[in-house]
Amino acid sequence: MSEGILNGIRVIEGSAFVAAPTAGMTLAQLGADVVRFDAPGGGLDYRRWPLSSAGDSLFWSGLQKGKRSIEVDLRSEQGRETLTRLITAPGEGSGIFLTNFPARGWMSYESLSERREDLVMVVMTGNHDGSSEVDYTVNPAVGFPEAMGPRDCAAPTNSLLPAWDSIMGGLAVVGLLAALRHRDATGEGQLVQIALSDVAIATVGHLGRIAEAQLEGREQPHDGNYLYGAFGGDFETSDKRRVMVVGLTGRQWKALEGATGTEELFARVQDATGHDFRDEAGRYAGRELIRELLKPWFAARTLAEIRAAFEGTGVSWGPYQTFKQLVAEDPRCSTDNPMLSVVEHPVGTYLTPASPLTFSVSGRLPAQPSPALGQHTGEVLAEVEAGTAGDGS
Amino acid sequence: MSEGILNGIRVIEGSAFVAAPTAGMTLAQLGADVVRFDAPGGGLDYRRWPLSSAGDSLFWSGLQKGKRSIEVDLRSEQGRETLTRLITAPGEGSGIFLTNFPARGWMSYESLSERREDLVMVVMTGNHDGSSEVDYTVNPAVGFPEAMGPRDCAAPTNSLLPAWDSIMGGLAVVGLLAALRHRDATGEGQLVQIALSDVAIATVGHLGRIAEAQLEGREQPHDGNYLYGAFGGDFETSDKRRVMVVGLTGRQWKALEGATGTEELFARVQDATGHDFRDEAGRYAGRELIRELLKPWFAARTLAEIRAAFEGTGVSWGPYQTFKQLVAEDPRCSTDNPMLSVVEHPVGTYLTPASPLTFSVSGRLPAQPSPALGQHTGEVLAEVEAGTAGDGS
């Protein structure tokens, strides 16, 4: 139970920033032995914010959980040879390389697969032509910032969450496991490629927005916190907190009417105005009216009272919380949640997530500490020397 | 090359909305045979916006690409028995069930695994206790809406992109493939579980925000489109477009100074003010000053001129585009990109993404059409009757 479902797999990670480290961490949290290499002193993301008051990167720490960290000088012939040997070491679960570095020269699939023919290599780039791009420059291009944020604000709203990086991290692991499955069955390795802007554009397509733009020529204006195509809106409470309330399905809407005692109010307003609140399109068309009619109920109650009133009713809602409120108030973000435990890291001791995935047979590894930079350099290099780097032990 | 790397796997999907359909579609785009079942007339997401002018859901179409669709009446004993037989049909690549429905009664892992002991079942829920939650109610809880959006706006900014759903969709496939790997090796099936709020909270932790809140007690105020911890900001162009420009690494910053001819300007302002623009923390501290100093350069140029000036310089930047501008102007969102092709769907013919993953040996399946609701009911039920539903053919 305690080894993790991917125990026996060894992945070498050469990366920086969010997407590729997320992929490696996802694998490490499932039990893979993930060895991340960095230049001596750390790579481009080693000082990325948020920082602790001691100046350590809590970001770097968060994304390296469960990995082994080695420092290797890539500018030296010897460093490159060491990494080549590590990446192409023999062993059934080894010969797997994950990177968002420019995969050229010694680091190219061509060079590395000469040393281990069945190498599985996952290369993450900015654009499909290999050019670079970051989440904060991809996101503006794909429409969402121009379609969200306050109505009265002329400027678009970029996202603070690097969502495309996080999505790509998961998909890179999907690609890696699919290629490994192919190798297990056939003995063949391969190069897997994925680009950040492709991930974003594909998602825009999956959600119907490319079709909508192309077939209907519709734009989506900023619409505050209203939902698109159904009722959803935010409300201020009497204690100056804010909640999000959604009436997407008929059942959610009935629950909301019931819990706020507004069935008759909405029936009479429906009669008076011709709005049809019984279906989601009607609730979307009447979203401002609905919000106005519900505001007094929320304004008269504290967050705690609203929570009590909605408990067990089937209303779809949630409080707005800052990062601090999430950590201070939400039982889902505490050790009451089996995903989280307090872990001692080199940069501090704090509440740390394990994988959100649980497996009934293979279990879930507890949350793991992040390494100090280079903590495993000696140990891993000794494994390379001894020729045991790939035995999965 | 043309069968897809997951050819031979058959997955039954019982789902609605974004996360679970995304997981099924990700598998279908890699060549798995994914059979989605819905109630006759369609489930809760069958009319979800965006809609075409004919009233069809472009959202539903987008998320069912490459799947087979069957309509089955779950309220009838016969319907439930048919689905049980389909889910538990024999075959090495079969016996895989993916759902975000309440996994109770006949649909529970306990009941279904009685009929096929090595069943792999992935259950996606709102919260880890099994209670329900949607992206639009989870996102407010995890801090990002309170930390983004315009500085002068008191209200938080919820995200229009259901990012947590998209991330969970990918992770569910990771869980499924890991469990399948375990089954291939040992013969054992298992139940895999994942919760939307766990995905969101874990990501907040991965990015260092739980540690920052807990160790440093810092909140993050709304900061417009500025980047956190480095320079990034938006600029208006002379033709009333807007671009996002990022100077995260030293190389990106030097490229930006070079392309805009501002090296001397920044050196002199640095001398005059004591700001240090040479490191990312200094650029963050001076972000407003930097933006003010760069504004005239952008305001004097059109988007096309800026694009030409930045070409090949290594500046990290991108235009803000609406969904329509993305489709109309961006070559990455056109058939110039091998990921995209024009596909005829029952709801219309439009530019459609394949998987963003490419495999050097297994290739990439071209973009696939979405089914009409129930299009494959007869065919799949005949396979169940004939006992061939699980042969992967």
β-sheet with B242-247: strand ranges across: B231-236, B242-247, B316-319
A213 contacts on B by Cβ (under 8 Å) = 323-324, 326-328
Q: What is the mean pLDDT of each run of 10 residues along chain B (393 residues)?
A: 87 98 98 98 96 97 98 96 97 97 97 98 97 96 96 92 98 98 97 98 98 95 95 98 96 97 97 94 96 98 98 97 97 98 98 98 97 98 84 49
- Predicted TM-score (pTM) of this structure: 0.97
For chain B, give the percent of residues with pLDDT over 70: 98
| Distance between CA atoms of residues A227 and A304, nearest Å | 24
Three-state SS for B133?
coil
Tell me the HSE value of B90 on the side-chain side, using a 13 A CA sphere. 4
Tokens 């720490």 belong to A61
Q: What is the pLDDT of residue A316?
A: 97
CB A303 within 8 A of CB A241: yes
- Compute CA distances B99 → A89, B104, B107, B115, B145, whole Å: 39, 11, 9, 18, 28
Which residue in A160, A316, A350 is closest to B211 by CB distance? A350
Tell me the HSE value of A377 on the side-chain side, using a 13 A CA sphere. 15
Mean per-residue pLDDT of chain B: 96
- State the amino acid at position B246 in one-letter form: V
CB B10 within 8 A of CB A190: no
Of B63, B119, B109, whose CA–CA distance to B88 is shortest? B119
In this structure, the strands spanning B231-236 and B242-247 are antiparallel
A228 contacts on B by Cβ (under 8 Å) = 49-50, 160
Which residue in A188, A316, A353 is closest to B137 by CB distance? A316
Dihedral angle at the C-alpha atoms of A90, A94, A96, A99, nearest 10 degrees? -100
CB B194 within 8 A of CB B168: yes
A165 is catalytic: yes
Three-state SS for A23?
helix
Q: What is the DSSP string of A240-251?
A: S-EEEEEE-SHH
Q: Which of A3, A25, A158, A336 to mutate to test the interface with B (most CBs of B within 10 A)?
A: A158
Of B229, B4, B340, B147, whose CA–CA distance to A321 is shortest? B147
| Distance between CA atoms of residues B298 and B236, nearest Å | 6
- State the amino acid at position B250 in one-letter form: G
Question: How many Å lie between the alpha carbon of B223 and the closest alpha carbon of chain A?
Answer: 9
CB A154 within 8 A of CB B337: no
| Distance between CA atoms of residues A165 and A23, nearest Å | 10
Angle, alpha carbons A171-A172-A177 (nearest 5°): 95
Among B129, B165, B330, B391, which one carries the catalytic annotation? B165
Q: Per residue of chain A (393 residues), what is the pLDDT tens digit?
A: 458 999 999 999 999 999 999 999 999 999 999 999 999 999 999 999 999 999 999 999 999 999 999 999 999 999 999 999 999 999 999 999 999 999 999 999 999 999 999 999 999 999 999 999 999 999 999 999 999 999 988 899 999 999 999 999 999 999 999 999 999 999 999 999 999 999 999 999 999 999 999 999 998 999 999 999 999 999 999 999 999 999 999 999 999 999 999 999 999 999 999 999 999 999 999 999 999 999 999 999 999 999 999 999 999 999 999 999 999 999 999 999 999 999 999 999 999 999 999 999 999 999 999 999 999 999 999 999 998 766 544
ipTM of the shown complex:
0.97
For residue B241, with 0-12 CB atoms within 10 Å meaning exposed, 13-18 middle and 19 or more buried, which class applies? middle
Written as six digits, the tokens of A276 are: 């049809």
Which chain B residue has the Cα nearest residue A127? B332
Which residue in B59, B139, B320 is closest to A146 by CB distance? B320
Which residue in B47, B228, B330 is closest to A141 by CB distance? B330
Instruction: Count CB pairs under 8 A between chains A and B.
Output: 530
Q: What is the pLDDT of residue A392?
A: 47
Among A33, A135, A165, A198, which one carries the catalytic annotation? A165
In this structure, the strands spanning A33-38 and B96-99 are unpaired
